[in-house]
Chains A and B, each alone.
Chain A
Amino acid sequence: MTLNLCVLTPNRIVWDSEVKEIILSTNSGQIGVLPNHAPIATAVDIGILRIRLNDQWVTMALMGGFARIGNNKITILVNDAEKSSDIDPEEAKQTLEIAEANLS
């Protein structure tokens, strides 16, 4: 029994395939979802989504949104999502420094 995960942003589908387990950060803490989870609807905070496929963890950054967990079907609607493999650490570090400078 596998979960079907759909991560949708307003302009593209980021992820649409089967997974074994996910760990999602919501407004009220992190929740882990295994197959046959009870149906819930929750708001998603800006954070990291961890996806397990066959003992391998894939991570994705989510920019906040909403998640609905139904009959072994998870739909996550977010404003933006980026797979960790698509993120360049150097560029991210520079963006972080610029953002911190803008804050202060």
Chain B
Amino acid sequence: MSCSNLTMLVSSKPSLSDASNLSFRSVLNPFQLPSQNSPSCSLSRSSVTPVQCGLRELRTRIESVKNTQKITEAMKLVAAAKVRRAQEAVVNGRPFSETLVEVLYNINEQLQTEDIDVPLTKVRPVKKVALVVCTGDRGLCGGFNNNIIKKAEARIAELKDLGLDYTIISVGKKGNSYFLRRPYIPVDRFLEGGSLPTAKEAQAIADDAFSLFISEEVDKVELLYTKFVSLVKSDPVIHTLLPLSPKGEICDINGNCVDAADDEFFRLTTKEGKLTVERDAVRTKTEDYSAILEFEQDPVQILDALLPLYLNSQVLRALQESLASELAARMSAMSSATDNAVELKKNLSIVYNRERQAKITGEILEIVAGANALQ
């Protein structure tokens, strides 16, 4: 079996409206039937990656690209379904945080005159900082884990410049493996996140941060997670977890404080037929509560009970946001992978068909030449 050598140039995005774009040059030398059995042809696209082919190999390649496409498509849909679940988890957690914020506001109003001393709100001169880094467990999510880790490294460099000591609490398999490979970065604890962050995991992280802060081993605890902005954009942010502000404000390292009553949550919707996720900002109503609310124990004890709850809910929110960003990143990464697979399959099919046609033409030519020779 032999086939003639074909060289073709096909532009990677042939648009039917612009026929001149489609440059097609085929060099067919009918009487040059190479004696050596090397059916090799190359397809150079504008990205110049020659595809070595034989009919059978091409067929296997097309099959494997088809399977890959199925897998990436499925992964995208799974990620979309998980975003919905993550969304429900956030919605389920709202009554808790709303009530907590209301109560916190109330107690602060009533305690404004008194001098309260709660260990969790004590601001100390900072000598050592603990950094809680929330990464994902699995890969195939685009630049998600990388962004967080880069931000963590940048923060570590900043802290080193300021002459501050630091320690890391790493959450998530990807972050864990990164820091394990770098023993020069002091890590306090490695924690695994589950597929859906629950209060138990948030509690483990909060307990660790709590004990480090209370025992005065660290003077500040910062939480590093990815804030979900939109399906294609997510921001790694750093929030100060401890010391807490008694009003329950959420502050980031630059000192920008957001009121605890302002909350944002995301929801999965469709826009123009495509799945997308959007943010909604909601503000909790803080009514003036009846001033006759009596405290069963003294205010310090009540705040002592409230602030760990608040810590817990903050950590849980961060974990949920991180999860949502990871899922959104995975959705968009898998969607572009599917598109690439479709394009690759199309190009491979074109090459396969031309190869097949060239082979048929060659055989016909052989027969014709043989018939002519007999005459």
Contact = CB atoms under 8 A, between A and B. Distances in A.
A78 B310 CA distance: 10
A42 B302 contact: yes
A41 B313 contact: no
Interface residues of A, number: 28
Contact of B200 (A6, A28, A40, A80): A80
Given A38-B294, A68-B103, A10 B93 contact: yes
Interface of A is mostly: strand
A39 B202 CA distance: 31
B293 A11 contact: no
Contacts of A79: 199, 203, 308-309, 312
A15 B333 CA distance: 40
A77 interface: yes
Interface of B is mostly: helix
Given A43-B297, A68-B103, A80-B199, A6 B290 contact: no
A8 B96 contact: yes
Contacts of B203: 79-80
Interface in B83-114: 89, 92-93, 95-97, 99-100, 103, 106-107
Given A66-B103, A77-B100, A10 B305 contact: no
B118 to A, nearest CB: 13
A46 to B, nearest CB: 11
Contacts of B96: 8-11, 77
A20 B228 CA distance: 43
Contacts of B153: none
A40 B107 CA distance: 12
B237 to A, nearest CB: 20
B302 A13 contact: no
B316 interface: yes
Contacts of A70: 290, 293
B353 interface: no
A40 B293 contact: yes
A92 B96 CA distance: 27
Task: Name the residue among A8, A38, A42 with the largest chain B CB count within 10 angstroms.
Answer: A8
A44 interface: yes
Interface of A: 6, 8-13, 26-28, 31, 38-44, 64-66, 68, 70, 75, 77-80
The 8 A-B residue pairs with the shortest CB-CB distance, nearest first, are A43-B305, A42-B296, A8-B96, A10-B199, A10-B313, A40-B294, A10-B316, A39-B293
Given A64-B305, A65-B305, A77-B100, 7 more contacts: A10-B313, A11-B197, A41-B295, A42-B297, A66-B103, A77-B309, A80-B200
